[in-house]
Structure 1
């Protein structure tokens, strides 16, 4: 039995049919036939087992190699199609395993093309805690620039969500605001990521972010969605919400 087969059976045992139906509704366009219905905390627990060698034949590098030999596409062309939870698990193992920075970036580079929904993207970005180690911050920032300049929807979303999760600070806020507001892409999940990122920038740097909202060349959807998300936050005062509402484009 391969590691992939072993862990897939484990995931099947953790599946919940009601949660599967709920999850499919949250992720438009997902191939429902390739969703088991396993909750994220349960998948993360499996990832930790793999990384720590919880079973006799566990080897996280071997496991990643087995998954990389599969292709998570709807047609199953060129390999066995992975389940949604397996792709999620693959990202979690990449994020959690102990390895050198350059090796992890190589794994990330190979994984990003497999991202085809917001849930895998955003969970993966949040799990990449190695970015927050000081010596990794500039190299990873440089690494992300190619994704932000790509024309593929989830490549760009990955870049934006990474900036939002790991770089909203005094050193990077100006670059983030300039980068996010300059992205031009018709993809819904790019626009939503940009709006989300700007709302988080507002929480940390309200004056700088509001100045951008007052004067930008973003499309109307992203502009208005950013304002909406800011106004939905409990960390923004009623007065600020009222003022921002006046900046919406009609």
Structure 2
């Protein structure tokens, strides 16, 4: 008899890894403790088969079941117009930074459909829901920090609802990557942004933590910190 996806995940679960993972992801209590390489291997296998049936019937009882669905969506080979509804169905299932960020980096289909996905992301960036906004912001930092999009991207980061912690952190992260890749444009943005003090200072901190920023620049960035 074929083993079910849930049975396979339960068989892979490790108690020590469960404790380790759960400690990194606050506010959830449904972690099994399955290592990511196992999930990726299973997701690739599902994506080569009847992935539509899997996604339509997938269960979301455990953290790893949700993570697996996101990985499968990232691996499927299909037209962007077919994939986008599956992305839209998945976004509401995200309730932690780990699933969100893993899902985003896996959506490599974005690279060949940038304008289409950019338009798709706009409602999420205008949302008032924490993980919908974080999804939009992390997608921007993963795929859109380049000269074609940078000015529009920075305007969006400035306009997002930053009332929640995981959005603030994502925006700060995105700005730090913008600075590393396009420092002059991002420097000008920082001088005139409407960022709240926490997000602004966190962005500066992340810039100074980058190994791609030279010591002299880090000193200048530290001097830009807002005093509370």
Match status 1:119 vs 2:98: yes
Shift of 1:239: 0.6
Shift of 1:37: 0.4
Give the secondary-structure state (helix, strand or coil) at the position aligned to 1:179.
helix
Aligned equivalents of 2:191 and 2:17: distance in 1? 42
Aligned equivalents of 1:13 and 1:229: distance in 2? 39
Match status 1:45 vs 2:41: yes
Match status 1:62 vs 2:41: no
Match status 1:140 vs 2:138: no
Normalising by structure 2, we get a TM-score of 0.96
In the other structure, the counterpart of 1:22 is 20
Q: CA RMSD in A?
A: 1.3
Alpha-carbon displacement from aligned partner over 1:58-94 (angstroms, at most 9, x marks no partner):
x211111112xx4x4xxxxxxxxx2000000001111
Match status 1:91 vs 2:89: no
In the other structure, the counterpart of 1:110 is 89
Shift of 1:182: 2.2
Larger displacement relative to structure 2 (222-231 or 205-214): 205-214
Aligned equivalents of 2:42 and 2:198: distance in 1? 39
Runs of 4+ in 1 over 3 A off after TM superposition: none
Aligned equivalents of 2:63 and 2:163: distance in 1? 25
In the other structure, the counterpart of 2:6 is 8
Unmatched segments (≥5 aa) in structure 2: none
In the other structure, the counterpart of 1:150 is 127
Give the secondary-structure state (helix, strand or coil) at the position aligned to 2:175.
helix
Give the secondary-structure state (helix, strand or coil) at the position aligned to 1:171.
coil
In the other structure, the counterpart of 1:246 is 223
Aligned equivalents of 1:91 and 1:6: distance in 2? 18
User: CA contact under 8 A between 2:126 and 2:161: conserved in structure 1?
Assistant: no
In the other structure, the counterpart of 1:210 is 187
Aligned equivalents of 1:118 and 1:169: distance in 2? 24
User: CA contact under 8 A between 1:181 and 1:218: conserved in structure 2?
Assistant: yes
Unmatched segments (≥5 aa) in structure 1: 54-58, 73-81
In the other structure, the counterpart of 1:229 is 206
